[in-house]
């Protein structure tokens, strides 16, 4: 089953993988639809078992989980710089993602896997500057 993924009028569709899971691409960009230093799309709705494939389009970016913005039982993670990274999402809930060097510039993403069971906790995490603004927009898309 193909799922639409919405972000600022952009639509991306994941490709099918084994056992009905999908691979969903998120690009790491110096410049995108929402401005400088972005994950695109910055909000993704996924299903348990899907693979989120972070594509290192532009060098100098990574993928790191944000403390307090992971479902219970999910271990924190951090990728290497300037490399693609695959995240298989098994647990339902919200996953807060940042690019370590560009977090203050608002390079963040929100992945929703199934039900947003950790919505209150994830939404309570505070962010500064552009990260706060971009998360506010992403949380408005949570289903």
pLDDT digit string, tens, across residues 43-68: 999 999 999 999 999 999 999 999 99
Beta-carbon contacts of residue 130 (< 8 Å; ≥ 6 apart): 104, 105, 106
Whether residue 123 is predicted with pLDDT greater than 50 in this model: the reply is yes
pLDDT of residue 20: 78
Q: Which fold has domain 4-139?
A: Immunoglobulin-like (2.60.40)
Contact assessment for residue 102 and residue 59, using Cβ atoms and an 8 Å cutoff: no
Mean pLDDT in residue range 7-20: 44
Alpha-carbon span 95 to 142, nearest angstrom: 12
Domain ranges of the chain: 4-139
By DSSP bridging, strand 108-113 and strand 51-56 are: unpaired
pTM metric for this prediction: 0.86
The pair of three-digit structure tokens given for residue 44, joined into one six-digit string = 């993704």
pLDDT of residue 19: 62
Start-to-end Cα distance in the chain: 18
Q: Determine whether 97 is exposed, middle or buried from the number of CB atoms within 10 Å of its CB (0-12, 13-18, 19+).
A: buried
The pair of three-digit structure tokens given for residue 107, joined into one six-digit string = 């390079």
User: Cα dihedral angle (4, 18, 69, 13), rounded to 10 degrees?
Assistant: -20
According to the 3-state scheme, what is the secondary structure of 52-77? EEEEECCCCCCCEECCCCCCCCCCCC
């Amino acid at each position: 089953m193909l799922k639409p993924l919405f972000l600022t009028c952009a639509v991306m569709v994941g490709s099918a993988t084994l056992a009905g899971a999908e691979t969903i691409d998120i690009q790491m960009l110096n410049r995108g639809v929402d401005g400088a230093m972005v994950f695109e799309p910055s909000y993704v709705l996924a299903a348990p078992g899907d693979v989120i494939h972070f594509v290192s389009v532009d060098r100098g970016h990574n993928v790191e989980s944000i403390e307090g913005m992971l479902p219970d039982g999910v271990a924190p993670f951090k990728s290497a710089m300037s490399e693609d990274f695959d995240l298989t999402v098994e647990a339902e809930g919200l996953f807060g993602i940042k690019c370590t060097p560009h977090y203050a510039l608002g390079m963040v993403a929100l992945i929703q896997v199934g039900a947003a069971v950790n919505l209150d906790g994830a939404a309570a995490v505070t962010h500064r500057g552009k990260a706060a603004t971009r998360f506010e927009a992403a949380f408005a898309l949570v289903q």
